[in-house]
Chains A and B, each alone.
Chain A
Amino acid sequence: MKLRIKITKDAGIRFISHLEYVRTIERAIRRAKLPVAYSEGFNPHMKFSLASALGVGVTSEAEFVEIELGEEIDLPATIKKLAVNLPTGIRILAADLADTKADKLMAQAGGADYRIVVPCKDCDWQAIVERFNEAESVLFQKPVPKGRGKTKEIEVKNFIDHLEAECSGDDLQLAFSCKITPTGSMKAAELLVVLRDSFEMPLLVEKADILRTDLYAVDEEGKKKSLLKPEYIA
């Protein structure tokens, strides 16, 4: 049996790394004494995984963890126990139970939604957003992880097709969906770099407040589908 939970990474802990976030959840599972399954071998490790890594500095209302269990559990009681053992900054939003053989959430994730608030002083944001939305192709030199400055050209529009924008004062708010494909995805922060460098939008990228609002599967018709069962508990 697998316990699957949807949790947050709130602003107070946005700067912990993905690895630190994983370790924190592992320790919370241990504190809550969940009957979690361990791998075999000399150095057994806890069988649990996260659906997708979040960039350092990004907050989220849609992190997914799946935990393989060694025995049956009572879902509401388990969630209650786990909740008190998580640090401030990680809240449980939803949970369900699935068969151990169910596809990994990581493999099911097809897209993520983001909302960004970023300072943009004196910028012609409506025209730029329109230009982006209407562009056939937007290319970006994506840095290769550990590539020492090497980059790989990607088509931004394959991942992010449309932006919603509004502005209040000097703060521009952007909302968009970003596809996750088997060959990769794009970071929300990278979109800001594209807008700044290729569209000459005067964004203060380093001050951007980025929130992942959702992570979901995408069905054959391209519709969003919740990763957890509809009868989840909140």
Chain B
Amino acid sequence: MTKQFPIDILSQVQKPARYTGSEFGSIVKDAEDTKVSIVLAFPDIYEVGMSYLGFKILYHILNQEEGVAAERVYAPWVDMEAKMRENALPLTSQETGKTLRDFDFVGFTLQYELSYTNILNMLDLGQVQVFSKERTNDDPFVIAGGPCVYNPEPLADFVDFFIIGEGEEIMVELMNAYKQWQSEGMPGGRSEFLNRAVLIDGIYVPAFYNVEYLPDGKVAKVTTNNSLAPATVKKRVVKDMNTISFPTAPIVPFGEIVHDRIMLEVFRGCTRGCRFCHAGMVYRPVRERKPELLKQLARELVDNTGYNEISLVSLSTADYSCLAPLIHDLITELKEEKVSISLPSLRVDSFSVALAKEVQAVRKSGLTFAPEAGSQRMRNVINKGVTEEDLMNAVGAAFESGWSTVKLYFMIGLPGETDEDILAIAQLAKDVQYKYFQVTGHRGAKVTVSVSSFVPKPYTPFQWKGQDTIDEIRRKQMLLKDALKVKNITYQYHDSVTSVIEGVFARGDRRLGKALYLAWQRGAKFDGWSEHFSYSRWLEAISDCGLDKAFYANRDREMDEIFPWEHIQPAVSRAFLWNEYQKSMREELTEDCRHGKCSGCGVCPTLDVKIIDWKEQGHDEAKN
């Protein structure tokens, strides 16, 4: 048993098992076997963090390394934080109960802009200096990776260095560099280690870069102040998913977590080219795992975890080239063991419905589709290659198979959106209801329309585009609400104040670090949880720093404006993104390069990688 919080504290908080570790599969290394220690820090609660595949992968990869101990920590929920502060108890790791300050590295994942205040809070609770420049040789290195690193600038004051891209290889290189430095007696202290770390491809040390601004607040130029730092940092990718190790004995938590099942990653990347989609741009190219390997991994995962459900995960699982035979084989093998297969998302077509039918032989929960926009015009703008006919075929197939509940996801606030485009969402929902009547002869299909508001992200074609103001989003939400006052149609939406702050940070610069610090000082945390988010606190923090939210979120940017994030490179070229932006305004589509012609995004030649699609490339494995 490791060091734990006292009984009286644990007995007075919600879900105390969040803080006590000891789960099956957790790895506790002895202090004498540990040369380098890293704590993988998830800036949200246990149930969310434990569901994150990226950390399952890194936990496995790092703990495989001799002398490396990777542990975990999550943001304590507010009740626990209050107890910790009241009793002066520091934030500690799940595995050995070690305070964050006593690790060599504290590694955060940046999943979502609104988790940034939790990072500051966790550092503070873990007795680590919040500002990088105040850390001494006794502090750990605070590092961060994950999807938001493609614009890490708002965190430049707090994070010593960022890991750009996929972590499997680079994290091991980093651990080795640390061991080497350690074996030499840690010459030169922190700054010397940063000089060594920056030599590893994919590591971005923000302190090595100076940003100059124009009088109007835009970036004038970004220069390096250390000759070892590269002018641009390119992301790291794993070239072949079949050659890297995947965690087949992940931790099995005691309590129910958000995704409480086996997660088997079938491929990485997506080349459909939806213009709003950050993940689709920054995780390129598509690299599939072989079906044979996936079957073997599934077998090991079932044996090692005891879970009775496998989710086949990726950005767009229905696009896996060998999906039908893979699902068939997995069902055949695992049926006797009462293990079911699930798909996290469906494509809008009847193929996906047929698969959903096959995997959900028993339970008929509702199906979810994401047309993303209501009108064909708008879907062309965002390059969502889905037609109304596709959707009608998909829901028709679902209704024929016995489903009567459908959920549809849309975005509002997309570039060039008109009121007609908004009303088309309502029409589409009604058409889906009518389709049920056509198919079954009955009325009463339940349709849920779930609408989120669009936030332009860096490294997408819409990075130039201003975000709708909060008033405009609210007006559009009301317009749609009126149009959806129909029996059996449920309209779900959220007040978009969180999207405003998300938008500010998504395309913000390092001056926002001040606002982040101020908001945290004034109590901001768990901003992704609406009950803890305070819009006025954020607006005040931003304006008290002399900054303007509209400058970051709502302003259309010039073609040649220098963005604060351009020295970090996911390798999608600026020319490609601009061209896609122009095409979007002409409502022109770009085809998926996985099956069609190369769209010239630049990722493959820049990173010396290629698309791996088992069927396209005629591999034998794809024919089974």
B22 in contact with A88 (CB, 8 Å): yes
Nearest-neighbour CB distance to chain B for A135, whole angstroms, equals 28
Quick one: closest B residue to A12, CB to CB?
A: B1
B306 in contact with A15 (CB, 8 Å): no
A 170-210 contacts with B by CB, 8 A:
204, 206-209
A29 interface contact, C-beta 8 A: yes
A 115-136 contacts with B by CB, 8 A:
none
Contacts A10-B1, A207-B7; A26 near B24 (Cβ below 8 A)? no
B2 interface contact, C-beta 8 A: yes
A44 interface contact, C-beta 8 A: yes
A16 in contact with B11 (CB, 8 Å): no
B10 interface contact, C-beta 8 A: yes
Which among B21, B24, B308 is the interface contact of A28 at CB below 8 angstroms?
B24
A56 to B10, CA, bound (A): 10
Which among B2, B16, B24 is the interface contact of A15 at CB below 8 angstroms?
B16
Residues from chain A with Cβ under 8 Å of B308 in the complex: 30
Interface stretch, picked from A17-25, A91-99, A101-109, A219-227, is A17-25
B8 interface contact, C-beta 8 A: yes
Chain B 1-41 interface 0/1 with A at a Cβ cutoff of 8 Å (1 = within): 11010111011100011011111100000000000000000
B213 interface contact, C-beta 8 A: no
Contacts A12-B22, A27-B24, A87-B23; A42 near B7 (Cβ below 8 A)? no
Nearest-neighbour CB distance to chain B for A56, whole angstroms, equals 7
A85 to B22, CA, bound (A): 13
Quick one: closest B residue to A25, CB to CB?
A: B306
Quick one: closest A residue to B338, CB to CB?
A: A44
A57 to B20, CA, bound (A): 11
A11 to B3, CA, bound (A): 11
A31 interface contact, C-beta 8 A: yes
A15 in contact with B20 (CB, 8 Å): yes
Nearest-neighbour CB distance to chain B for A32, whole angstroms, equals 8
B350 interface contact, C-beta 8 A: no
B306 in contact with A206 (CB, 8 Å): no
B306 in contact with A13 (CB, 8 Å): no
A41 to B457, CA, bound (A): 48
B 172-197 contacts with A by CB, 8 A:
none
Chain B 242-260 interface 0/1 with A at a Cβ cutoff of 8 Å (1 = within): 0000000000101110000
Quick one: closest A residue to B260, CB to CB?
A: A23
Residues from chain A with Cβ under 8 Å of B21 in the complex: 12
A29 in contact with B306 (CB, 8 Å): yes
B559 interface contact, C-beta 8 A: no
Contacts A30-B306, A86-B24; A23 near B254 (Cβ below 8 A)? yes
A91 to B20, CA, bound (A): 18
A14 to B20, CA, bound (A): 9
A26 to B24, CA, bound (A): 13
Residues from chain B with Cβ under 8 Å of A16 in the complex: 17, 20, 254-255
Residues from chain B with Cβ under 8 Å of A30 in the complex: 306-308, 337
A85 to B307, CA, bound (A): 13
B 279-313 contacts with A by CB, 8 A:
303-308
The chain B residues found within 8 Å of chain A, CB to CB, are 1-2, 4, 6-8, 10-12, 16-17, 19-24, 252, 254-256, 303-308, 337-338, 362-363
Apart from A15-B10, A15-B16, A87-B254: 5 A-B pairs, beta carbons within 8 A: A12-B1, A20-B254, A23-B256, A24-B252, A29-B306
Ranked 8 nearest A-B pairs via Cβ: A27-B306, A30-B306, A12-B1, A15-B16, A87-B24, A31-B306, A206-B8, A20-B254
A-B contact pairs, 24 of them (CB 8 A): A10-B1, A13-B20, A13-B254, A14-B20, A15-B11, A20-B256, A23-B254, A23-B256, A24-B24, A24-B252, A24-B254, A27-B24, A27-B305, A27-B307, A28-B306, A30-B306, A30-B308, A30-B337, A31-B303, A38-B338, A43-B362, A86-B24, A88-B22, A206-B8
